[in-house]
């Protein structure tokens, strides 16, 4: 059964379309991440699910009930915001308990639920403190605690980690993932950060200009991006793109680049056409045996070396374009060096030129 079903959803602010016809079905227990660049409509979509924004067209069902005109507090959702939204004059216990008191939950039940949430989030020692006596990470835990105690059908997260510094963000990300494993609650999580999306999601919904560009498991989108936008959005550093001619003749499939370089492909459809050849920096190696599939040898003259500890990024020209490859640091000396590299050619993607 699906906990959230969205049908042909639109939102217009005056004449400006922010969400332009979205269909989405979120099964019970799934962690769905809505991701995309700034302005793609992800907050608007989340706020419509929460009931904080009116719907222009379409329907939203939560737990099988159409909620288009149901007040936010009656929607069986709990929401965690970017700015925590804690009550400054209430201590941590009261902040977490607030939603339960508002629903007239019995006192002993409140005690029990707050205690359990605090234990799960490792903030038991902070229950008497006021929000201003907490660090950013601790405040975010309290905000999450407030959502947990509600036993809501749907948890909504609106960029909950974007105000935290990098290290804390990594920590809280693991924490949220662990919480989802423990609670098994359906979660909808908005972020512009592709790493958060890749690490947290059971399913990524990638939005662009108010529409779903592609939805699927993180691996699906990473390995089989439907468009250049998807290919470029997920993964870091970005996928390399080289304009090419795709040819398929008696000897098999191949791509030819503008500088005359040709690479044989393990498979490919019929027909010749212009394409964009995409290959990720991670899909290169100096050792063909370390690649999972068929290796294609390329000669690389290193133009730029960016070490990052045990791994290093090199930039070199291929097919007339500067390409990035990620190698083991000990495999590369520096600029000017000429290397034989192997590309995991089966993991290259061919995308239609835009
Ligand atoms: P995201 O969360 O992906 O950054 P938003 O959902 O905030 O995107 O915004 C989507 C589009 O709707 C943007 O073009 C934005 O400028 C517009 N928008 C958002 N909120 C309002 C508003 N209250 N009034 C007018 N336009 C808005």
Burial class (CB in 10 A: 0-12, 13-18, 19+), 321: middle
The pLDDT tens digits for 166-187 are 888 898 899 999 999 999 999 9
CA distance 213 to 229: 8
pTM of the model: 0.92
- 235 Cα to the center of ligand 1, angstroms: 25
Query: Is residue 249 pLDDT above 90, yes or no?
Result: no
- 39 Cα to the center of ligand 1, angstroms: 6
Best CA proximity match to 101, nearest among 146, 143, 70, 152: 146
Among residues of the chain, what percentage have pLDDT more than 70? Answer: 100
**Model ipTM value:** 0.98
Q: What is the mean pLDDT of residues 148-154?
A: 90
Q: What is the mean pLDDT of residues 230-250?
A: 94
User: Is residue 287 a contact partner of residue 343, using CB atoms and an 8 Å limit?
Assistant: no
Query: Is residue 246 pLDDT above 90, yes or no?
Result: yes
Listed range (36-40, 251-255, 281-285, 299-303) with the worst mean pLDDT? 251-255
CA distance 141 to 74: 24
Residue 22: CB within 6 Å of ligand 1?
A: no
- 8 Cα to the center of ligand 1, angstroms: 18
Structure tokens at 311: 């791994």
Residue 131: CB within 6 Å of ligand 1?
A: no
User: Is residue 241 a contact partner of residue 321, using CB atoms and an 8 Å limit?
Assistant: yes
- Domains with residue ranges and CATH for the chain: 2-233 (3.40.50.300), 240-351 (2.40.50.140)
The pLDDT tens digits for 331-344 are 999 999 999 999 99
- 206 Cα to the center of ligand 1, angstroms: 16
Residue 40: CB within 6 Å of ligand 1?
A: yes
């Amino acid at each position: 059964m699906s906990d959230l079903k969205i049908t042909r959803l639109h939102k217009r602010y005056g004449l400006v379309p922010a969400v332009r016809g979205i269909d989405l079905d979120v099964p019970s227990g799934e962690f769905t991440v809505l991701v995309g660049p700034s302005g793609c409509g992800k907050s608007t979509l989340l706020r419509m699910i929460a009931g904080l924004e009116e719907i222009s067209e379409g329907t939203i069902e939560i737990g099988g009930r159409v909620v288009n005109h149901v007040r936010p507090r009656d929607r069986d959702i709990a929401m965690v915001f970017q700015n925590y939204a804690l009550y400054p004059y209430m201590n941590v216990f009261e902040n977490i308990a607030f939603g339960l008191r508002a629903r007239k939950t019995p006192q002993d039940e409140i005690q029990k639920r707050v205690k359990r949430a605090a234990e799960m989030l490792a903030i038991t020692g902070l229950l008497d403190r006021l929000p201003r006596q907490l660090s950013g990470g601790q405040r975010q835990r309290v905000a999450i605690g407030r959502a947990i105690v509600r036993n809501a059908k749907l948890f909504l997260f609106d960029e909950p980690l974007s105000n935290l510094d990098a290290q804390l963000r990594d920590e809280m990300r693991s924490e949220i993932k662990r919480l989802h494993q423990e609670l098994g609650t359906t979660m909808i999580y908005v972020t512009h950060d592709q790493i958060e999306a890749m690490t947290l999601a059971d399913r990524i919904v990638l939005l662009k200009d108010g529409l779903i560009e592609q939805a699927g498991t993180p691996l699906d989108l990473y390995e089989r991006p439907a468009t250049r936008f998807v290919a470029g959005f997920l993964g870091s550093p970005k996928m390399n793109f080289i304009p090419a001619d795709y040819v398929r003749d008696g000897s098999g499939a191949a791509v030819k680049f503008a500088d005359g370089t040709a690479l044989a492909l393990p498979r490919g459809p019929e027909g010749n056409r212009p394409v964009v050849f995409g290959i990720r920096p991670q899909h290169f190696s100096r050792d063909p045996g370390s690649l999972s599939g068929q290796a294609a040898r390329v000669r690389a003259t290193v133009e730029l070396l960016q070490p990052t500890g045990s791994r290093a990024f090199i930039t070199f020209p291929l097919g007339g374009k500067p390409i990035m490859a990620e190698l083991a640091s000990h495999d590369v000396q520096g600029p000017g060096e000429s290397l034989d590299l192997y590309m995991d050619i089966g993991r290259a993607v061919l995308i239609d030129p835009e």
